[in-house]
Structure 1
């Protein structure tokens, strides 16, 4: 990014860094990932720093907590012994960089693939449980007044409103919302939740935890919410077989957390929040399409994330059927309805056109660096979705009347509806995310196919 003429970010950084007695930045590089915030790495005074900022002020207009308060939460956590980064300064309007803050870079990688391949996964798991317990030890007096407090029932009502705004026509999500309304636990004494504690938001190096990142969703609530979120199937990545953060067993995770916190983990509350946050992320994915359409974030990544809704529907259905249909007779699911729908056509179909563009993108991948390479991968995912959807029959995942019925009445052990929901989930994930680890598990479970 650096050159003879500084770009606006470098100029803004110079102003912000001067405020804390540091020299201008060098080696400014956009980091990959980040579902809502931008992250930039740069050097000054012989050390690496991180700029974390919003892509636009409009994008964070409705955030319950300011970046200044988020920075204060991070500093309070660091003071409590959490491996959180040191915040050096919060951006000011005069910096011209929008909203955000600058912090010291921590060692290690946040790449889940690299962390999950490290020796010593059990050590990282224990250290993650330790840090989570320390986060939960912070009191209201330690933190900014605008740190939000979750009202469980209000949170469900908000998710239901999001569902209606998104069309209210996804039956599996409707079923999840109904289950949450019927099974919402009584509120407990609130603790500080990180709110996004999962693989991808922790750093590790040489088999040890080195950092906890991305505090924008911090709030007060049930500690089981934080415990459950990182154990969702989506955040276990390739290690579906390790239910605790992709690193190990729930028993080991809970034992380490209990030893540090002095609390006892309630398995039923944990299960509730596992389902709640799965519905939450499903609706968060759906909302990404709206965000893109409205123009507050026109990134390619936003569009592709919206198609990850189906992953959460698959996970949600597998979670719910453990309880709802455990007594029903099982028979292999007939997946013939989601087979290919074309045989021959003389001209290129649009899926074939997408595949041709994919082939061309492969030829330029090696010429890309850093964030462009990440965007290349996102573009390939987008084109793959187009190619697969053009070729497949789908049992429609959009059904408003069924969704309304499930929201109102739930299910009454109807195996035919169960099969319809399974076909919806399988077919959609086969199009949207065919390499999603839970898909192979669901296919084996529901069809007997390897």
Structure 2
């Protein structure tokens, strides 16, 4: 268990927790990859498989609206209504020495989006799976509010105010995020009866076996709010992975989504509310990625993955521009982009960027020696070094406090000559450094420049 963080302590603490549930000691503890905020470990106990979901330290729980006890209560409540959520067998106690969390019975299927999409390439099978996913979401939204523990409620105006505060605390200097915040303020939706919102309902948090949904995971962001929020979140470009051409969960069309949801829950999807929440959650995730840099810098979480996620802000800035560019006049949407800043070819001794690339290439030679979570971290490390190399070769600065302030207060808009073209160019160049394989980058480049 070389990848564990004190393997003996983890095993012994988990053995104590399992004993309270009448289960034998764990065997085969394996750290699962992924998870932006929590750790997950799979193991066997007796004849069954289980998953430990935990936050090892109090710092990992900072900023959360509620603890694992409330999350467990939500899972039990929806499971009693027929939602395919994992059964919780025991919650961690202080004497376990494992932090906070709980043990769940493992469900069949994979959460890997790329494996799911590869198994559902056929349009008919994909639409069928989408219908299952949307139908399960309708069931979640039908959970009686009085059957739930006390949960926060997300009011749109308060939500935007919170995002704006986060933006200003982080520096307030990214123009595209400022543009989105202004649009959200100007287009606030009217109040609606609240439902239980999962808050993170997307590929990656859904277990799929073949063409069927087998489990709904990760309830840490559950709250009360507008049902359109869950629908829009699962349709964000970033969560479509290799299928940006299928807007609904990477599996179907938005028309199918609306019809499937209405058929399953009787609610009609309002396109304008859906679009508002799509912009909101894209902006929310942009700020979430951006804050990861501060989280790493301040020492709350010094994992490499945290630092890398901060560079995914540029993915969401590109997506926000694609969502909001229709607000610009036709003449601005057809304006040619300024040339890319580019960089000068290197000569002489190896540059810092070339050294980073050399290390990345060396790491590729030892990939096969890595296992489990260490292999995942190895891939993250290579990604980080590649970003350094590209960043050194072509410096792009997305920071402009003056422009961001003007967009935020509305004194500048996408009607300003050349502004949209300037924002597009910066978004393309920055994302080409940070995440050049992001599927939407090629689409945006073709749409905005006519180039592949």
TM-score range relative to shorter protein? over 0.9
By how many angstroms is 1:415 displaced? 3.1
Cα gap change, 1:260 to 1:9, in 2 (>3 Å): same
Aligned to 1:87: 88
SS, match of residue 117 in structure 1: helix
Aligned to 1:286: 290
Aligned to 1:142: 147
Aligned to 2:169: 165
140, 147, 155: which one aligns with 2:159: 155
Aligned to 1:376: 378
Aligned to 2:348: 346
SS, match of residue 102 in structure 2: strand
By how many angstroms is 1:332 displaced? 3.3
Structure 1 segments of 4 or more deviating over 6 A? none
The 5 Å alignment of 1:272-351 reads 272-326=276-330, 328=332, 330-334=334-338, 336-339=339-342, 341-351=343-353
Residue 233, structure 1, aligned to residue 237, structure 2: yes
198, 210, 214: which one aligns with 1:210: 214
- Report the RMSD for the aligned CA atoms in angstroms: 1.5
By how many angstroms is 1:333 displaced? 2.1
The 5 Å alignment of 1:33-432 reads 33-119=34-120, 120-145=125-150, 147-326=151-330, 328=332, 330-334=334-338, 336-339=339-342, 341-394=343-396, 396-409=397-410, 410-411=412-413, 413-432=415-434
By how many angstroms is 1:337 displaced? 2.6
Q: Check conservation: 2:336, 2:421, Cα contact below 8 A.
A: no
Q: What is the CA–CA distance in structure 2 between the aligned matches of 1:8 and 1:254, rounded to whole Å? A: 49
Cα gap change, 1:22 to 1:160, in 2 (>3 Å): same
By how many angstroms is 1:62 displaced? 3.1
SS, match of residue 207 in structure 2: strand
Q: What is the CA–CA distance in structure 1 between the aligned matches of 2:79 and 2:369, rounded to whole Å? A: 40
SS, match of residue 415 in structure 1: coil
Gaps of 5+ in 2: none
SS, match of residue 7 in structure 1: helix
By how many angstroms is 1:342 displaced? 2.1
Cα gap change, 1:329 to 1:370, in 2 (>3 Å): closer
Q: What is the CA–CA distance in structure 2 between the aligned matches of 1:139 and 1:415, rounded to whole Å? A: 51
Q: Check conservation: 2:86, 2:104, Cα contact below 8 A.
A: yes
Q: Check conservation: 2:333, 2:420, Cα contact below 8 A.
A: no
**Which one is further off, 415-424 or 271-280?**
415-424
Cα gap change, 1:231 to 1:329, in 2 (>3 Å): closer
Q: What is the CA–CA distance in structure 2 between the aligned matches of 1:153 and 1:93, rounded to whole Å? A: 38
Q: What is the CA–CA distance in structure 1 between the aligned matches of 2:414 and 2:360, rounded to whole Å? A: 45
By how many angstroms is 1:78 displaced? 1.4
SS, match of residue 282 in structure 2: helix
Cα gap change, 1:385 to 1:55, in 2 (>3 Å): farther
- Give the alignment's TM-score, normalised by structure 2: 0.96
Cα gap change, 1:113 to 1:189, in 2 (>3 Å): same
By how many angstroms is 1:6 displaced? 6.2
Cα gap change, 1:42 to 1:329, in 2 (>3 Å): closer
Q: What is the CA–CA distance in structure 2 between the aligned matches of 1:186 and 1:55, rounded to whole Å? A: 40
Q: What is the CA–CA distance in structure 1 between the aligned matches of 2:107 and 2:333, rounded to whole Å? A: 52
Aligned to 2:436: 434
Q: Check conservation: 1:333, 1:446, Cα contact below 8 A.
A: yes
Q: What is the number of equivalent residue pairs in this alignment?
A: 445
Q: Check conservation: 1:337, 1:393, Cα contact below 8 A.
A: no
Q: What is the CA–CA distance in structure 2 between the aligned matches of 1:314 and 1:114, rounded to whole Å? A: 25
Q: What is the CA–CA distance in structure 2 between the aligned matches of 1:325 and 1:306, rounded to whole Å? A: 32
By how many angstroms is 1:331 displaced? 3.4
By how many angstroms is 1:328 displaced? 3.8
- Give the alignment's TM-score, normalised by structure 1: 0.96
Cα gap change, 1:57 to 1:278, in 2 (>3 Å): same
Gaps of 5+ in 1: none
By how many angstroms is 1:117 displaced? 0.9
By how many angstroms is 1:66 displaced? 1.4
Q: Check conservation: 2:130, 2:252, Cα contact below 8 A.
A: yes
Q: Check conservation: 1:285, 1:306, Cα contact below 8 A.
A: yes
Q: Deviations over 1:259-316 (max 9, x none)?
A: 1111000010000000000000000001111111121111100000000000000000
